[in-house]
Chains A and B, each alone.
Chain A
Amino acid sequence: MPAAATAAHGQIVLEGIHAVVPPVFQTMAGLSAEPGTVFQPVQQPLVLQGVAGAIGLSGKVSGMVYTSFGKGLASFIAEKILGSVSSDQDLSDVVAELTNMVTGNLKSRFSDLGYNCTLTPPSVVAGNKISVNPKNCTIGVGLEFLVEGSPEPLCVYFFGVFNQ
């Protein structure tokens, strides 16, 4: 695929992430999420820490969306949404659903641009050094968000391909 098309697709993804993440956090947790650093391209391997959500896309866009929450940020948001957090399962569940909302809305934007795809159910992984090394993707972009009331940022990454 020509480099210009790849760059344009990367821009579509970044604009999508920029547009969908703040309303998700504002509506579900009442917290603002301000866009910060842009990663274009993302250095690989990507190393995640804390709790990370992942959802696969398959179709005219294929790839993966990752959300990366520090453990403190995940606890903070889960408490905001659920009122109290009693287990790691609660954290995992909140991260999975927020990842689902972000990716679902991203998918809707792609679909409206003619790039239909289906989503996998979300997976959540937790750890201190989760190494992500995606294969066969032409686009690797990410965006950091500063979430109101938390020193830890939220990062959302996309690795994938736009198929003609």
Chain B
Amino acid sequence: MPTPKILSVDDSRMVHTLVNKAFAPYEAQVVLASNGAEALEVASRETPDVILLDVTMPVMDGVECLSRLKADPLLKDIPVIMLTAEAGKENVLKIAKMGVRDYIVKPFTEAGVIERVTRIVDLKPRVGGATAPAAAPAAPAASAPVPKKNLKVTDAINILVVDEHPAILETIQSSVASRGWKANGCDTLDAATKKIAEAAASKTTPDVVLVSLAYPNKAAIKFLQATRTRPEMKNVPMVAMAIRTATYEQTEARDAGFDAVLTKPLEAGEIADRLAKAMELDLTPLFFATKGDCAVVTLPAGLSDSGSIDLSRQARAKVASFANAGIAKLVIDLGSISKPEVPVLRAIGFILNECNNVGIKWRIAASDLDNIPNLPNVFAANSKVAALKDVPNPFKGASLVDVSPTLLQALSSF
């Protein structure tokens, strides 16, 4: 593939300097224009692969330039990314309707610009250049991205953890072990780069990568960008880890393209579910099963908040699919739960409301016959809790709910 050409259109030399700096570590050519009229001329001459376009400029502004680009049959297909401080909703909508590919709001980070541009063109690290990212791997010749893996939550997920502190790896290993997932660690970014290159060669790339943001000089972001240039890693989720108070670094990491950010100290109960979310895994196979003509949902006592949010969202489709498959009965098994916390209540609410909507009959099985029958009251008492505010009470005014002491009894109670 020829070197990608980026046209930066801005009346500010500072912006041109920063754009040049951002692309310096990559095999890319940056061409410049200082207003819309100049941009049209340069675009016709250079046919860039991407145009970064400011709005407020002298001579011809970005909006006028964009409309002329889109009216020119030779230039209309060049992707345009707006790079502007003007981000009012009306302005964004008006410009979006004109056919821009993306919108970056100033102030911006160099990493953010690279991340958006790499959604459109493949950028390869400049090999051997003084400005190449410290952790840049050698990019393979073939550049077609390897498609996203079709993973299931029950697969043996392979996690790569890049952190200089062994305790972080241990925490992650122990919190994902119950899912049958495996975590391996590297204490430096160079070691991780090497490991990824080896894994790519043997077609055993990790399913998700966690990277500490604590490495100096924004090395984690450079590592992300360099890793994403590998076709095998382009669709592998990458998750940053930062201390809670490093809010600027967290925002920068998200802007740069990390799929999620975990804050340290890591909450062991949340890790697996947060990673599942980053990998867009369907959680329902962990909790849903069928016994004969009845669906069974087993909710664990330690259901995490993020697991509950994802499960609740996914449960709607799952319950609808049961109805579609002719299953008309469902049991929620709370055998391991005594006092349900908010994440469990939310999941129960979503599942039972969906059952009520599609006409599936339901029962509850629980060994704690003191607390669980009080679920309707617990629900009502927690209705103002933010996490449950939007979940209608599924018990419809009842003060107690019938509970079967065992799953077997619940199954035979319909």
Contact = CB atoms under 8 A, between A and B. Distances in A.
Given A105-B87, A107-B86, A24 B107 contact: yes
B56 A108 contact: no
A93 B12 contact: yes
B58 A121 contact: yes
A110 B57 CA distance: 20
Interface stretch (B14-22, B25-33, B311-319): B14-22
B11 interface: yes
B124 to A, nearest CB: 24
Given A93-B12, A105-B85, A81 B107 contact: no
Interface in A108-124: 108-112, 116, 119-121
Contact of A94 (B14, B57, B88, B109): B14
Given A82-B14, A94-B14, A104 B109 contact: no
A116 B85 contact: no
Contacts of B252: 27
Interface in B1-54: 11-15, 17-18, 21
Contacts of B57: 121
Interface string B174-200: 000000000000000000000000000
A46 interface: no
The number of chain B residues touching the other chain, given as a range, is: 20 to 34
Interface string A73-106: 0000000011100000110011011001111110
A93 B18 CA distance: 12
B248 A104 contact: no
B12 A111 contact: no
A91 B57 CA distance: 19
Contacts of B107: 23-24, 26-28, 101
B203 interface: no
B89 interface: yes
B14 A119 contact: no
A81 B18 contact: yes
Interface string B73-110: 00000000000111111110000000000000111110
Contact of A27 (B21, B55, B58, B109): B109
A26 B251 CA distance: 11
B88 A82 contact: no
Q: Which of A28, A83, A110 has the most B CB atoms < 10 Å from its CB?
A: A28
B62 to A, nearest CB: 12
A103 B85 contact: yes
B91 A82 contact: no
Contacts of A111: 88-91
Given A27-B107, A119-B56, A104 B14 contact: no
Contact of A104 (B13, B21, B56, B58): B56
Contact of B14 (A97, A105, A112): A97
A121 B57 CA distance: 6
A103 B85 CA distance: 8
Interface residues of A, number: 30
B90 A116 contact: yes
Contacts of B85: 100-105, 107-108
A108 B86 contact: yes
Contacts of B108: 27
Nearest to B12: A97
A96 B248 contact: no
A121 B85 CA distance: 12
A108 B87 contact: yes
Contacts of A121: 11, 56-58
**Among B87, B105, B106: residue with most chain A CB under 10 A:** B106
Nearest to A95: B14
Contacts of B248: 26
A58 to B, nearest CB: 12
Interface in B142-196: none
Contact of B56 (A83, A100, A116): A100
Interface in A6-33: 23-24, 26-28
Nearest to B88: A111
**A26, A81, A97 — which one has the most chain B CB atoms within 10 A of its CB?**
A97
Contacts of A27: 107-109, 252
Contacts of A107: 85-86, 88
Given A27-B109, A101-B106, A101-B107, A81 B86 contact: no
Nearest to B85: A104
Contacts of A103: 85
Nearest to A100: B85
A94 B15 CA distance: 9
B259 to A, nearest CB: 21
Interface of B: 11-15, 17-18, 21, 55-58, 84-91, 105-109, 248, 252
27 contacts: A26-B248, A27-B107, A89-B13, A93-B12, A96-B12, A96-B14, A97-B14, A100-B106, A101-B85, A103-B85, A104-B56, A104-B84, A104-B86, A104-B87, A104-B106, A105-B105, A105-B106, A107-B86, A108-B85, A108-B86, A110-B88, A111-B88, A112-B88, A116-B90, A119-B56, A121-B57, A121-B58
Given A89-B13, A102-B85, A105-B85, 4 more contacts: A83-B21, A107-B85, A107-B86, A121-B58
Interface of A: 23-24, 26-28, 81-83, 89-90, 93-94, 96-97, 100-105, 107-112, 116, 119-121
